Amino acid sequence: MSHGPAGEGSHAEPNLTPLLDVVLQLLMFFMMCVNFVNEQVNEDIKLPQSQAVKPMDKAEADYLFINLKPFNLADFQDRLPSDVLARVQDKFRDGDECILVPGKEPMRRNEMRIWLKQQYEDAKQIAEQRGEKNVNTAVVIRAHKEADYGQVFEILQLCKNVGYRRLMLRALTKNTPGGAT
Amino acid sequence: MTIRRKTESGPEPNLPVTPMLDMAFQLLAFFVMTYHPSDLEGQMELSLPSEAITQAKDKEDIKTDAPVDKDQDLKLTANITVIVRTQRDNVNTGLISGIALQDDSGTTPVDTLDKLREELKSRRATVENKENIKIQADSKLKWEEVINVMDVCQQAGFKNISFVPPPSGS
């Protein structure tokens, strides 16, 4: 872009500074709005919608997330290292009950029981160190809408048997724009 | 702001705005593209499963702390049970195939969720326990449908919903 002499010697230049200001404002807005996906939350789970759900309590600190969905190999295809993938492929068929927990390979229910027991014991020790009597961890169950009632029920039962007293179910709030899938 | 003439004396501070704007636009485009307002997630606190489970538990090996089990307050005593049936085979995909209401007097079938809501509302006036209700669904029922039934129960005014184990063999 050359700024050649334009006739009388003065040339009109658009003033870009206010534009830049506005753009930076917008930029700031969108940066703030980026939702940093909570690592605990599995995006593959399509939650059912419900009108009865309440907004989450931010003050609550102790959550244990359990994600449940029918197994689908495509979910894992590009995400797991090949050796893990082979193991997973071996263990699950499409449509099987599959329990996903942050930081763990997909589990079956009996594996989950062992894991859950361990978690409970750990939580209990920590609670005792703090001088609390009970484990206050809330178990949050995020079940895929295609999951079976029986599976969810078994998991609830398991959590209860292990000793957790607070169970929560996650669902999407209805009437949100773009909520329909 | 006046445009100064080049011939004026003194060095002119010249901030190159254009490249900065270009970059800002790039970034803006990126964030606009990735902007994905996720649906609001909410949660339901669950009333713990009722007595049938506590009994079932004794058969299992997990017996970590006894006092918890004796916590009688956690058991829900509900007068009404909503029974939800389903079929899942090649044709049916786990949607609701039948709803029934069970109480002390017997079982009455209900056609739709809307009718269930009306029925629950009218029965709620008469039952002793106005907060609690139980849901017994078939094992193969889709979770989504269970949530729908829970919604209906809550709309009818029952706040504490508990689950009954699915009937065996379903």
Residues 75-104 of A with CB under 8 A from B: none
- Whether A122 has its CB under 8 Å from any CB of chain B: the answer is no
Write down the pTM of the prediction: 0.69
Write the pLDDT tens digit of every residue in B13-38.
Answer: 777 888 888 988 998 898 888 877 66
β-strand pairing of B81-88 with B41-45: unpaired
**Ranges of each domain in chain B:** 51-56+75-164
Q: Tell me the C-alpha distance between B168 and A94, whole Å.
A: 24
Could you say which architecture CATH assigns to the domain B51-56+75-164? 2-Layer Sandwich (3.30)
Q: Is ipTM > 0.95 here?
A: no
Least Cα separation, residue B123 to chain A (angstroms): 20
Interchain CB contacts (distance < 8 Å): A and B: 175
Q: Which residues of B touch A147 (CB under 8 A)?
A: 142-143
The 3-class SS string of chain A reads: CCCCCCCCCCCCCCCCHHHHHHHHHHHHHHHHHCCCCCCCCCCCCCCCEECCCEECCCCCCCEEEEEEEECCHHHCCCCCCHHHHHHHHHHCCCCCEEEECCCCCCECHHHHHHHHHHHHHHHHHHHHHCCCCCCCCEEEEEECCCCEHHHHHHHHHHHHHHCCCEEEEEEEECCCCCCCC
Least Cα separation, residue B145 to chain A (angstroms): 8
pLDDT tens for the 181 residues of chain A, in order: 544 444 555 778 788 888 889 999 998 888 887 765 555 566 777 888 888 777 776 666 678 888 888 887 777 777 777 888 888 888 887 778 888 887 778 888 888 888 888 888 988 888 888 888 777 788 888 888 888 888 888 888 888 888 888 888 888 887 644 434 3
> Between chains, do A50 and B151 touch, taking CB under 8 Å as contact?
yes
> Between chains, do B40 and A55 touch, taking CB under 8 Å as contact?
yes
> A100 has which bridge partners?
A67
- Whether A10 has its CB under 8 Å from any CB of chain B: the answer is yes
Q: Which of B144, B149, B163 to mutate to test the interface with A (most CBs of A within 10 A)?
A: B144
Residues 34-63 of A with CB under 8 A from B: 34-35, 41, 47-56
Nearest by CB to A48, which of B38, B53, B143? B143
